[in-house]
Amino acid sequence: MSELSLPRLGSLPNRLLRLYAGLALYGAGIGLQIESRLGNDPWDVFHQGLAVRTGWSIGTWIILVGAVVMVFWIPLRQRPGIGTLSNILFVGLFADLTLWLLPTPSDLALRWAYLLVAVVCVAAATGLYIGAGLGPGPRDGLMTGLHRLGLSIRTARALIELTVLATGWVLGGTVGVGTIVFALAIGPLTQYFMPLMRLRD
């Protein structure tokens, strides 16, 4: 195939490929961290707590919570894109698929391997689906919507994540060293992956 016949990196098919690869990788990262049993990220502490209380799958709650969060976009005047709607549906599906496929490790070293790979997966996935430029995830949009009301990004994120973390912990979600590792590592790793995943013509 000649160079001239290759698609532009910023073309819609390429952006869609990045989007759905990112969402699949994000769901896989969620599944890995949950299976590590070392502690979930704040939102998944909440999703797992709801799953514990209802018997519904974690992926189902990821989808339902994402849909409910979209309601709060209305007063915040946030506009969804295809990436937003796809995020609501596919992250939960891929998380459930990963949880179904993965064996639950008993060895502590393997549990740590699950956790560390999970954090890298989520950071890389964030770079992919945000870099696709097809709309933020519902939870990201909630944070940026609060920022538009005057809160700093740091304050908005802390407010949201502390709320869901505390609620999820009360409901029975897993909080542990993995929660701390995620909180400390996800920012620097995402910052590393974002320029690598940026669309180029």
pLDDT for residue 3 is more than 50: no
The radius of gyration computed from the CA coordinates of the chain, to the nearest angstrom, equals: 17
pLDDT for residue 200 is more than 70: no
pLDDT digits (tens, 9 = 90+) for 143-163: 878 878 888 877 888 899 999
pLDDT for residue 190 is more than 70: yes
pLDDT digits (tens, 9 = 90+) for 133-143: 898 889 888 88
* DSSP string across 138-161: HHHHHHHHHHHTT--HHHHHHHHH
Of the candidates 24, 31, 50, the residue with the CA atom closest to the CA atom of residue 100: 31
The DSSP H or E segment spanning 75 is helix 58-76
What is the value of pTM for the model shown? 0.90
Q: Round to whole Å and give the CA distance between 146 and 78.
A: 10
Residue 16 exposed, middle or buried by CB count within 10 Å (0-12, 13-18, 19+) = middle
Is-contact 23 86, C-beta < 8 A? yes
pLDDT for residue 4 is more than 50: no
pLDDT for residue 2 is more than 80: no
Q: Mean pLDDT for the chain?
A: 90
pLDDT digits (tens, 9 = 90+) for 72-131: 888 778 888 999 999 999 999 999 999 999 999 999 999 999 999 999 999 999 989 888
Q: Which sign, positive or negative, has the C-alpha torsion 59, 63, 68, 73?
A: positive
